[in-house]
Structure formats: C-alpha cells, structure tokens
Amino acid sequence: MKISFLGGARTVTGSCFMIETQSKKFLVDCGLFQGKSKEILLNTDEFMFNVKDIDFVLLTHAHIDHSGKIPKLYTSGYSNPIYCTKQTFELCELMLPDSGHIQELEVEWLNRKRKREGKHPVPPLYTALDAQECLKLFNPVEYDEFIEVDEHIKVRFLEAGHMLGSSMIEVYVYENGKEEKLVFTGDMGQDKQNIIRDREKIAYADYVIMESTYGGRVHDESVDKAKKFLNVVIDTLEKGGNVIIPSFAVGRTQEILYEIFKYKILNKDDEEYSNKVEKLLKIPVYVDSPLAVSATEIFKNSVELYDDEAKKYIEEGKMPLEFPGLKLTRSTEESKALNESNEQCIVISASGMCDAGRIKHHLKHNLWKENSTVIFVGYQAEGTLGRRIVDGAKNVKIFGEEIKVNARVEYIEGFSCHADQNDLLQFIREFKQIPKNIFIVHGEYPQQEVLYNKIKEEFGIEAYIPEFGDVFELDKLSHKVDSMKPISSQKFERLELLDRIETLKEEIQDMVMYIKEDLKQSQNDYLINEYNDKIKELENKILEIVKM
Ligand SMILES: [Zn+2]
C-alpha cells in the first residue's frame, strides 16, 4: 500500500492524500491551497495523477482547504463517488458554489487588467455552476457506520469535534492476507470544544495521518476568552468604533455567543460582566455572508451533534443560538450598505484568513480607523492577509489600495477549532496499541518539528513530516519510495523570490512609516540606532536574494 502527500504537507492548506492499494486508488480530501503565491499556483496545476484512475474520494470536512478542489477534480473528468457525513455534504452544498463564485470574481478582476494590457482572458479555476454540478457525486453517510466501498476496503467516519460534520476517517484495507488500518484525523477539535460533540477516541491503527496546526503550541487557558472577547468589544464600542471578526460565517459565531452566555450563567454574581453582556446585546451583530442564513439553518437542525451541555442549555431555554441583535445578510447590496452606514456594529465575515470574500471590504473600510478593532479568532496561515495583519504590518494592500493599519488588532486564542499540542498528544495516548507510524501533516514546519520531537520522546513511534509530493510505501518500516515534483515547480523558485520581495517591500514600507513618524516627534537617538540595525538587516536580506 502506498500513500502520496499531494497537499497539506508542511503547510496548512491544500489537504490531499492519495492511497493506492492492490485493488483501488483513492483520495482523502481534495483541498484548495490558500496563502502563499507559490502554493496558490498549485491550484491551477493539472492533478499529479490520472483523474480517471481515482475510484473514490473520502472527505473529512467542508472547509475549503479540504474540499475546495473537488469541483476542479470534477471538471477534470472525475465521476466516481465522494463520501462524507451528511452535515459536510450540506455545508459543501453552500460552500463549494460560493467558492466557485469567488473564483469567478478573482479572474474577473484579473481579466479586466489583462484586457487593458492587451492579453487574453484566463478562465476561473472553476465556476459556481461547476461546483453545483459536482455535488451530484456526493454520497452522504452516517457517523460510526462501516461502509464497504470495495470487498477489500471499508471505511468509517468518526466525530472529529472540529466543525459541524467534521470527521476522522478510519480506512480498513485487506490485502496480502491481512487487514491494516489507516486513520486520517482530518482537522481535530480541541478537547472540551463548545456546542458540538468532542472527538471520538480511537483504540488502534497501523498508520496515522495526523494534523499538526498547533503542534508546537498549547492554548492559553489562563485568560478567560469570553471575558477577554467581551472586554475588547465593549472597549471598542465605547470608543465609537466597529468590531470586525474575520471568520467562517456561522459555526464560530455561535460558539463565541455560546461562550459569552455560558460565562454569564456560570458567573451570576459578576455584575460588571452582566452589564457588559447587556450592552453587547444592544449592538447589531451582522454575520455578513451569502451563506449565513442557510448555514445557520444547518446548524440549528443538527442538535443531535451537539454535546450534552449544549443540549441541556438549549432544552432549558438558557442558551439562545440567536439573539435580537443578530442579523444575517445575504445580498451584496446589504453587505455594501454595512460599509456605508454610520451605525456602530460588529461584523463577522468570511474568509477567516482574509484572503478572499467580503471580509476584505470590511477591512478596507475599518483598518484605517483608530477606534475600530479587528479580532482574529482562528488560525492565520503564512502568506495570507490575516497573517500579515496579526504579525503587525503597518500597511496592507487590499484591492490594489494601500491601507494603513490604525485599528486595534487582537488575536483571541482558544476560540480556535484546532487541537493544541496537549490535545494532539492525548489523542495518541488514547491508543491501546501504538501505531507503527505517524505522518504529521497539515501544519507549518516549525510547529510540526516540535510535535515530531514530542511524539518521538513520549511514544518512541517512527514519525515522518512528509514533503509535498512524497510517496511512502506503508510497511512495518514505512519508507519513502518516490518524490514527485509539482508541474509548476520550475516556476516555484521565481514565486518564492516574489514572496520574499513582497515581504521585503512591506518591511521597507513599515520602516518608512517609523522614520516619518519619528521625524514628526524627533525624540530619542536610540531609536535611530534601532533603525540603523534594521536597515542593515534589510541590506543583508537583499544581498541574500540577489545571491540566490
Ligand atoms: Zn478545518
């Protein structure tokens, strides 16, 4: 049995693994790359396998970095089943056409520019219609049920506690007179995740393909995230600003509200907090997404997937999943009206990493305002607009326009729907029989390395951090048998260079800002020394690039 790592390898996006058994060839996830330009280029590459050879696809969950390339798989000629849970299917019914729409908008903008340059237009990666059509291949399945996809292969979807419908997938392969079991964790939720059920425990597996987004981090639990969130929001509102929250429409919104109400229930005596909650309830909260209304419906209709605590609160009527100020916007007009209005509000809008969708408009209209706040509640991948803002960029470019970052930027940890290092190690501790190998995927390399060392140290398991294109033979001693090069690899170095120059450009812009500000105030000389050091650092970087 062989496994190829065709995405989500040393990066958090583009998840895609291909498994070849004696009888079948199949994919687990087929996600879109987001963030760095050299990775985005992989989206437009031809697939690295013959699409018609793929017998089936297993999909862990609806997030676009796991599902977003399925429409392209379809337009490339794939016509076999795609297995996923019912909720993943329902969410994909919304998210994939929406992604197709975003793809169309992206090239529209590019093509206008190309037209002015006298160049031919380029087609979108796929259209909303392509995405709509590929949905007919989806086969929704129940959690916990064995599905025989072939006489030698059966699979089972287990709760992953990451988002509605998310699953870990067990794959049982019978060949050479024995059965072996692979476990794909997909994205795993943190322990004690709010509202939706916690992930299942797994007792044994031969091979585990495991996410590692927060492999090097432990979520800080000392800060009460609901309290911190509420304080930041109320502070901002008191200053007359807006609060912008980049996040995938609904799930996270419900979680944040849930957390706020739960804290209120558990801390009845905290009067100051209760007053703040009252204030919050008076402010309109817009979930600005064309998916918001339908996604909320899916969420409300999935009570069976909630954890016991959430079920109890809802039954007792203590925990509204909606409140008076919550407004769901669907049309572009409604979205535009939000930016033109002077009414103070909280806006929750996708994408969560700010690289596409309506959130870019809200950031453009709010980042320059000193009294507004942007609250990040989820992971920001390298190369995304979100990451640049979190990392403290003084200026960012949105729709070709230079925007000054004057707004307060907050990153509230703990709302993340990803397991942290403790949760990931706990997942392995729960195995009654230690897996032969663990493949660490879906993470940035430094995070993965930390987790790798922890796994080696605590369990002595042979672990790997595969690179993009690596092919492993799964065996007692799994080993790398091939390393496929992406078709666009010739362009890679140039794009790597572009990425670095972009970063450099941002750093230089920041420097110009610092110095200009300093000129106005002309205070201490020690700052000049700091600038000098920074310029030296930059000069070295430029030299490094030129030498490449
Ligand atoms: Zn995910």
Query: DSSP H helical segments within 267-407, as ranges?
Result: 271-282, 292-300, 308-315, 332-340, 359-366, 385-390
Q: Mind spelling out the 3-state secondary structure of 399-441?
A: CCEEEECCCEEEECCCCCCCCEHHHHHHHHHCCCECCCEEEEE
Angle between helices 225-238 and 249-266 (to 10 degrees): 100
Same domain (yes/no): 266, 286: yes
The predicted model gives 80-93 an average pLDDT of: 97
For residue 441, count CB atoms less than 10 angstroms from its CB and return exposed for 0-12, middle for 13-18, buried for 19 or more.
buried
Distance between Cα 95 and ligand 1 center (Å): 13
* For residue 319, pLDDT beyond 70: no
Lowest mean pLDDT, pick from 74-78, 142-146, 493-497: 493-497
525 pLDDT higher than 90: no
Q: pLDDT higher for 523 or 82?
A: 82
332 pLDDT band, cuts 50/70/90, is confident
**Are the C-beta atoms of residues 181 and 14 closer than 8 Å to each other?**
no
DSSP 377-406: -S---TTSHHHHHHTT-SEEEETTEEEE--
Q: Give me the pLDDT at residue 534, please.
A: 78
- Domain residues for the domain of 458 are 2-218+416-487
**Cα 491 from Cα 525, distance rounded (Å):** 45
Cα–Cα distance between 210 and 537 in angstroms, integer? 37
Least confident piece of the model among 85-89, 140-144, 242-246, 520-524: 520-524
Residue linked to tokens 């290092």: 421
Cα 162 to middle of ligand 1, angstroms: 7
The answer to whether residues 445 and 541 belong to one domain is: no
Whether residue 265 sits in one domain with residue 161: no
pLDDT digits (tens, 9 = 90+) for 392-417: 999 998 887 889 999 999 998 777 78
**Burial grade of 450 (CB within 10 A; 0-12, 13-18, 19 or more):** middle
First to last CA, the chain: 39
For ligand 1, the distance from its centroid to the CA atom of residue 503, given in whole angstroms, is: 27
Distance 260 CA to ligand 1 centre (A): 23
Distance 268 CA to ligand 1 centre (A): 34
438 lies in the same domain as 536: no
pLDDT of residue 276 exceeding 70: yes
Is pLDDT of 358 > 60?
yes
pLDDT above 70: residue 493? no
CATH number of the domain that residue 434 is part of = 3.60.15.10
Burial of 67 (0-12, 13-18, 19+ CB in 10 A): buried
Q: How far is the CA of 427 from the centre of ligand 1 (A)?
A: 17
Residue 162 pLDDT grade (very low, low, confident, very high; cuts 50, 70, 90): very high
Centre of ligand 1 from the C-alpha of residue 423, in Å: 16
Q: pLDDT band at 261, cuts 50/70/90?
A: confident
Q: According to the per-residue pLDDT averaged within each range, which of 100-114, 175-189, 301-315 is highest? A: 175-189
For range 347-371, the mean pLDDT: 91
- Report the CATH number at residue 283: 3.40.50.10890
More confident residue, 386 or 498: 386
Q: What percentage of the chain carries pLDDT values higher than 70?
A: 93
Which position has the higher pLDDT, 106 or 147? Answer: 147
Q: Are residues 344 and 374 in the same domain?
A: yes
- 406 with 469, same domain: the answer is no
Expressed in angstroms and rounded, the spacing between residue 63 Cα and the centre of ligand 1 is 5
Q: Tell me the C-alpha distance between 33 and 17, whole Å.
A: 14
Reported as a pLDDT band with limits 50, 70 and 90, residue 93 is very high
- 192 alpha carbon – ligand 1 mean position (Å): 17
**Quick check: 158 pLDDT over 90?**
yes
Distance 61 CA to ligand 1 centre (A): 7
Same domain, 336 and 401: yes
CA 323–ligand 1 middle distance (angstroms): 26
Alpha carbons 326 and 286: distance in angstroms, whole number: 6
DSSP category for residue 36: S
Position 483 scores a pLDDT of 87
Average pLDDT of span 2-16? 95
Residue 249: pLDDT band (50, 70, 90) is low
Q: Are residues 364 and 337 in the same domain?
A: yes
E strand or H helix that includes residue 449: helix 445-459
Q: How far is the CA of 188 from the centre of ligand 1 (A)?
A: 8
Same domain for 165 and 286?
A: no
Centre of ligand 1 to C-alpha 232, Å, is 26
The pLDDT value recorded for residue 250 is 56
Q: Answer for the pair 358, 288: CB distance below 8 angstroms, yes or no.
A: yes
Average pLDDT over residues 503-526: 71
Peptide bond connecting 351 to the previous residue in cis, omega within 30 degrees of 0: yes
Whether residues 174 and 212 fall in one domain: yes
Q: What is the pLDDT of residue 417?
A: 81
- How many separate domains does the chain show? 3
pLDDT band at 506 (very low <50, low <70, confident <90, very high): confident
- On whether both 444 and 427 belong to a single domain, the answer is yes
Percent of the chain scoring above 90 in pLDDT: 52
pLDDT score of 82 more than 90: yes
Lowest-pLDDT range of 38-42, 91-95, 130-134, 478-482: 38-42
Domain match, 207 and 109 both: yes
Final residue of a domain: which of 447, 462, 487?
487
Between the CA of 197 and the centroid of ligand 1 the distance, in Å, is 15
Q: How would residue 492 be classed by pLDDT, with cut points 50, 70 and 90?
A: low
pLDDT band at 491 (very low <50, low <70, confident <90, very high): low
* Of 193 and 389, the one with more pLDDT: 389
Residue 244 has pLDDT above 90, yes or no: yes
> Mean pLDDT, the chain, as a whole number?
88
One-letter identity of residue 36 = K
What percent helix, strand, coil does the chain show, rounded to 5?
A: 40, 20, 40
Q: Of 487, 506, 538, at which residue does a domain stop?
A: 487
Across residues 129-143, what is the average pLDDT?
98
pLDDT band at residue 502 under the 50/70/90 scheme: confident
pLDDT at 341 over 80: yes
Domain boundary residue among 411, 438, 468?
411
pLDDT at 14 over 90: yes
| Contact indicator for 55, 80 with CB cutoff of 8 Å | yes
Q: Which amino acid, 219?
A: H
What is the reported pLDDT for 290? 82
Per the listing, tokens 């849970």 go with: 85
CA of 526 to the centre of ligand 1 (A): 45
- Distance (angstroms) between ligand 1 centre and the Cα of 294 equals 19
